[in-house]
């Protein structure tokens, strides 16, 4: 239930009422509607650095960061300059540009598992294309995903777990026929026994296993090292491809992305296909998928797997992404970003502990998550078992104090290079006040 004061939110409420007349639910992406937490969505008028201002002029410290892309903060001078210059030269050509090549080279330079990359316009498009590529490369139909991992809204991926071990899922969206998801196998995250059983019974039919290495769509849940290691072994044994969905974690948790963290713990580790989005576009609609040359050459125009897009490699989006990647590759960037994020989560945890509130936090690079519970969840059912009503109250208490966290328990948070010491301190002070007994 919302704790907001409607009288202080009239402009946002008016815009929301108006929006619902012309846009389903009043929003163009469901979580923005605040239905998970209650209350009225804030209509953002502008953003700069670590802040956003809504339609009423209220300023918020922004920990959404456009759901991850704004790793430098809003309106970074180098990025803004690159975008303005690119826009002056032309919005879209429908023909190749040099900047597409430069961005592809920059991604490949930092991610050793990738030899070639294809640029697209959204994470959903990249995830869908990666699965088609895996199926085409292996000649198999079945795919494995894990409950709580989100890979975009392509039909074959909108599936929830079945009732038994390694059972086929059922659509979680109307408009998705059962026939479309009959080859999608949904397993429990971090459950080694289930993935072993799935490969034992159906391994020769599995084209790929797709995973969020740090699941940012059930807040912040890490895939354990033994879990990832076992999937890699099983994919190698049965000839399936291992797909890392790094739309959220790519260039956000480390310069080499999440796969670089697992490579430190698992000697020789590499995924077969990687999916990227968010940070590589710097806030513009841009995503990518990449793999070794042998797999990528299955794509048209070289191979039989078709994929295309009118706005793929858009010149303004690639300018934004390339400028962002060049900034975050500077020495010391990730050390400073991780330090800020760690100080934030330590401060939040300390405020909760002082108030006697069960609270668990985790972070990596510039990505973090927190739960109202005594320990960090390891899978989706454990996320559901945390205290959602308490989260909803906390969300509104923080929003009223000028701190904008994601309006849903199931979403990770993001720190940017633009967040200052004062921003972190103000956030922790707001949390201390929110945690205090009424």
Which helix (H) or strand (E) segment is 82 a member of? helix 77-89
Give catalytic residue positions.
150, 245, 278
Q: If we measure between CA atoms, which residue out of 307, 339, 344, 381 comes closest to residue 126? A: 307
Evaluate whether 280 touches 306 at the Cβ level (below 8 Å): no
**In the block, which residue shows the tokens 């701190």?**
403
Cα 117-246-104 angle, rounded to 5 deg: 25
Q: CA dist 385 to 218, 333, 374, 381, 406, Å?
A: 12, 36, 11, 6, 19
CA atoms of 390 and 281, how far apart (whole Å): 34
Dihedral, CA of residue 271, residue 159, residue 303 and residue 116, to nearest 10: -30
CA atoms of 196 and 358, how far apart (whole Å): 34
CB within 8 Å of 337: residues ≥ 6 apart: 71, 365, 366, 415, 416, 417
Q: What is the CA radius of gyration of the chain?
A: 21
Three-state secondary structure call for residue 344: helix
Enumerate the β-bridge partners of residue 145.
186
CA atoms of 19 and 14, how far apart (whole Å): 9
Which helix (H) or strand (E) segment is 14 a member of? helix 10-22
Q: What are phi and psi of 97, to 5 degrees?
A: -130, 160
């Amino acid at each position: 239930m919302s704790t907001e004061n409607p009288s202080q939110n009239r402009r946002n409420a008016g815009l929301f009422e108006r929006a619902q007349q012309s846009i389903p639910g009043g929003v163009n992406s469901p979580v923005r509607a605040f239905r998970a937490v209650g209350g009225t969505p804030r209509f953002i008028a502008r953003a700069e650095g670590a802040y956003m201002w809504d339609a009423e002029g209220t300023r918020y410290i922004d920990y959404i960061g456009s759901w991850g892309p704004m790793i430098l903060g809003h309106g970074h001078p180098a990025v803004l300059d690159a975008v303005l210059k690119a826009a002056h030269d032309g919005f879209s050509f429908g023909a190749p540009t040099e900047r597409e090549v430069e961005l592809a080279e920059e991604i490949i330079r930092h991610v050793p598992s990738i030899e070639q990359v294809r640029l697209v316009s959204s994470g959903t498009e990249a995830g869908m294309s990666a699965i088609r590529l895996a199926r085409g490369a292996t000649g198999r139909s079945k795919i494995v995903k894990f409950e709580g991992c989100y890979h975009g809204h392509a039909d074959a991926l909108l599936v929830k777990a079945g009732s038994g071990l390694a059972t086929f899922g059922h659509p979680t969206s109307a408009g998705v026929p059962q026939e479309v998801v009959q080859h999608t196998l949904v397993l429990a995250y971090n459950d080694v026994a289930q993935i072993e059983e799935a490969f034992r019974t159906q391994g020769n039919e599995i084209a790929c296993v797709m995973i969020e290495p740090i699941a940012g769509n059930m807040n912040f849940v890490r895939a354990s090292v033994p879990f990832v290691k076992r999937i890699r072994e099983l994919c190698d044994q049965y000839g399936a491809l291992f797909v890392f969905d790094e739309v959220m974690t790519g260039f956000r948790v480390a310069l080499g992305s999440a796969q670089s963290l697992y490579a430190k713990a698992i000697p020789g580790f590499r995924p077969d296909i990687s999916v990227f989005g968010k940070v590589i576009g710097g806030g513009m609609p841009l995503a990518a998928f990449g793999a070794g040359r042998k797999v990528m050459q299955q794509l048209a125009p070289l191979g039989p797997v078709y994929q295309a897009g009118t706005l793929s490699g858009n010149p303004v989006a690639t300018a934004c992404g390339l400028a962002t990647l060049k900034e975050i590759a500077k020495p010391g960037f990730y050390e400073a970003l991780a330090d800020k994020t760690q100080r934030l989560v330590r401060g939040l945890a300390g405020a909760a502990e002082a108030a006697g509130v069960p609270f668990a936090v985790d972070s990596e690079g510039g990505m973090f998550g927190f739960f109202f519970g005594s320990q960090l969840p390891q899978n989706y059912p454990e996320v559901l078992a945390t205290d959602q009503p308490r989260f909803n109250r906390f969300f509104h208490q923080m929003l009223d104090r000028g701190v904008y966290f994601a309006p849903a328990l199931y979403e990770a948070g993001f720190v940017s290079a633009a967040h200052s010491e004062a921003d972190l301190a103000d956030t922790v002070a707001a949390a201390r006040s929110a945690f205090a007994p009424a």
